[in-house]
Structure 1
Amino acid sequence: MGDAEFVRKTLIILGLVLLALLLWKLTDVLLLAFGAILVALILHASADVLVRYLHVPERWALWVASIIIFGIVLGLITLFGTQMRAQFSNVVERLPFVIDNFSKNLGFGAVSDDLSEIMNNMPGGGLATRIAGIGGAVLSGLGDFLLVVIAGLYIAASPELYKQGFIKLFPMRHHERVESSLDASGQALRLWLMSQLIAMACVAVLSSLAFWLIGLPSPYALGMIAGLADFIPFLGPILGALPAVLFAFSISGETALWTVLAVVAIQQIEGNVIFPLVARSVVSIPPALALFAILVGSILFGSLGLIFGFPLAVVAYVLVKKLYVRETLGEQTTVPGEAEAKERGGV
């Protein structure tokens, strides 16, 4: 191998290493971009419903769907915003007392004072500084959410522009494979997203109703927390139910028992009734694989990895089955979302 060839290959390797380091540094941005793609898929799926069932002209369907979705959100905020804000404030204010009460029932005594002392003694300031940091994190989260929504609108408005631009990053001979893989992945994500959003809404409504009947404080806020957390499979239902169970323990053992029974019953209804009805042809990832994907995402990428761990696993599952199992190993296998993508002529 001549000197020129050696230098060329060395530069290529260095360039790949630098590119990998750059992508690692930009993981948060890339995850937000993935979130924007999910928003675009939701908007397009809603537009398809308008075209199919309400016969809205296709060129207007996306904008009509966007206006309807954001109109519903603004309407809910207008009607219930004050009540929900008060209930969420009540949850935040009472949470230390609830944790202390639960800890005392277990025989550990009050822990909130110890937590405050630990936070005060930690490097970087006292409790006030930590609270300010939490406030900054909340504002940062709201800013990221707005960024994802706005970017999702742009992607939804011109999906082919971004898809073809991504395809052109690969050699010409791979364009067809890349495009078909993107279409299958997008359709699998679309199916999962729509079924998951419907399930989340049902969980939020059922949880709010159950917590209200049981007599928990701030039942709508606790129900909303349960519904939003349900976006994360496996771990989400546990995390979402935890505040309600803690509040129930602060009232009585009987209330806690009824709350646990209600949570279990709602999850059974979701898993055995709601999800099978709405999850037609949805990608089915082996449970253990999906659970480890969520855990790995949270360890590597923090909260964003926890939120997007499962949808990223959906994409990875489709790509592995299509590009490796079928096309590389030559095994016969069904690729989730592929048949639906062909019927639609792409995503």
Structure 2
Amino acid sequence: MRYILVLVFGAVLLGVLWHAAARWLHDRAHVPQSVGLAITVGAVVAFTAGMLYLFGSEIAEQAESIAAVLPDALDQLRSTAREFGVGGWVDQQVERLTGAFAEGGSLGGMLMSIGNGLTDFIVVVVGSIFLAARPKLYRTGLIKLVPAARRNVAAATLDDMETALRLWFKGRLVAMIGVGLLVGIGLWLIGVPSFLALGLLAGLLEIIPFFGPILAAVPGILLALLVSPTHALLAAGLYLVIQQTEGNLITPIIQQHAVELPPAILLFSLLIFTYIFGVVGVLMAAPLTVVFYVLIKKLYVQEALDTPTPIPGEDR
């Protein structure tokens, strides 16, 4: 049931995004929202198919080459570590990492199982389209579950959650695209193989707070080590510079138009939701945190405690 509930939340999140795009077309081009939804879904499908047609085979080949050379890269890492006198410590860390992947009990192991969830992904996408096609029906149904005297508050809370989720996704999407492009171009300039797949991986993992950039950097640095230790140092420096740029320049600019979550809350929420929901908890931790952040501020701090507090995205 926990797994199904988080899939339902994924459908709601995606439905919010479909609805936001359809409403934008309605406001700008006066397109009926049903037609706008069809245009949005069709555009996303066409774009995805086009990207797969243009780059799919190359990305697949690069991904296969990464999987093939990673064992050699780990051996090279161990050999280099022994030369610097830290071979024992590196051997322990590599054994722990490979053991975690084999057991599937860590973030890395769980991420490896994402590819087995194609059916769940299709269910989420189809469910989100149903939700976006008739949002008022489901919204009204939820509000009717609340006592009549509190329905106005419930309606306002749903609106605040929708706004916060939409702004959060907009900020994450910009960061994902920016980081993916910077990593791919940077690795290409350095001369690291499979730069396209590594850039795509870095962009996708950017959705995971804190741990995503670390997971993305490991294969890039290992592949660079196969070229030479100098390339590995350059790749490590590249990842570090990009993440510092993202954290100190890109993200602050994005947060002016998005939703900002306190880092400590986001960190512990990631650990909690990962423990509760597993791999989907890793992916959904940030938007789930956005929802609970709004709920606590709106229903507890404002309504129960009668204390003024800003609601994420309420002024946009």
TM-score class, shorter: 0.7 to 0.9
Give the Cα–Cα distance (whole angstroms) in 2 for the partners of residues 46 and 245 of structure 1: 38
Give the Cα–Cα distance (whole angstroms) in 1 for the partners of residues 289 and 43 of structure 2: 30
Give the Cα–Cα distance (whole angstroms) in 2 for the partners of residues 337 and 58 of structure 1: 26
Matched, 1:33 2:8: yes
Q: How does 1:188-203 map to 2 (within 5 A)?
A: 188-203=164-179
CA contact (8 A) 1:183 1:338 kept: no
Give the Cα–Cα distance (whole angstroms) in 2 for the partners of residues 276 and 62 of structure 1: 31
Q: Give the unaligned 5+ runs of structure 2.
A: 82-86, 104-109
CA contact (8 A) 1:232 1:306 kept: yes
CA contact (8 A) 1:91 1:218 kept: yes
CA contact (8 A) 1:191 1:280 kept: no
Give the Cα–Cα distance (whole angstroms) in 2 for the partners of residues 230 and 57 of structure 1: 33
Match of 2:148 among 172, 176, 179: 172
Give the Cα–Cα distance (whole angstroms) in 2 for the partners of residues 272 and 47 of structure 1: 33
Q: Which residue of 1 aligns with 2:31?
A: 57
Match of 2:193 among 217, 222, 233: 217
TM-score for the superposition, normalised by structure 2: 0.86
> What amino acid is the match of 2:295?
L
Give how far 1:276 is off. Answer: 3.6
> What amino acid is the match of 2:37?
L
Report % sequence identity. 37
Matched, 1:275 2:260: no
Q: Say if 1:170 and 1:40 are closer, same or farther in 2 by CA, change over 3 A.
A: same
Matched, 1:78 2:85: no
Matched, 1:144 2:124: no
Give the Cα–Cα distance (whole angstroms) in 2 for the partners of residues 220 and 281 of structure 1: 29
Q: How does 1:152-301 map to 2 (within 5 A)?
A: 152-301=128-277
Q: Which residue of 2 aligns with 1:302?
A: 278
Give the Cα–Cα distance (whole angstroms) in 2 for the partners of residues 138 and 274 of structure 1: 28
> What amino acid is the match of 1:81?
G
TM-score for the superposition, normalised by structure 1: 0.79
CA contact (8 A) 2:170 2:258 kept: no
Give the Cα–Cα distance (whole angstroms) in 2 for the partners of residues 56 and 209 of structure 1: 39
Which contiguous aligned blocks of 4+ residues in structure 1 show a shift greater than 6 angstroms?
none
Aligned-partner SS, 1:233: coil
Give the Cα–Cα distance (whole angstroms) in 1 for the partners of residues 239 and 77 of structure 2: 18
CA contact (8 A) 2:171 2:259 kept: no
Q: Which residue of 2 aligns with 1:105?
A: 80
Q: Say if 1:256 and 1:118 are closer, same or farther in 2 by CA, change over 3 A.
A: closer
Give the Cα–Cα distance (whole angstroms) in 1 for the partners of residues 49 and 258 of structure 2: 30
Q: Which residue of 2 aligns with 1:46?
A: 21
Give how far 1:250 is off. Answer: 2.8
Give how far 1:155 is off. Answer: 1.0
Give the Cα–Cα distance (whole angstroms) in 2 for the partners of residues 58 and 280 of structure 1: 31
CA contact (8 A) 2:114 2:279 kept: no
Report which structure shows greater RCO (CA 8 Å, sep ≥6): 2
Asked which structure has the greater CA Rg, the reply is: 1
Deviates more, 1:165-174 or 1:208-217: 165-174
Give the Cα–Cα distance (whole angstroms) in 1 for the partners of residues 125 and 228 of structure 2: 42
CA contact (8 A) 1:216 1:248 kept: yes
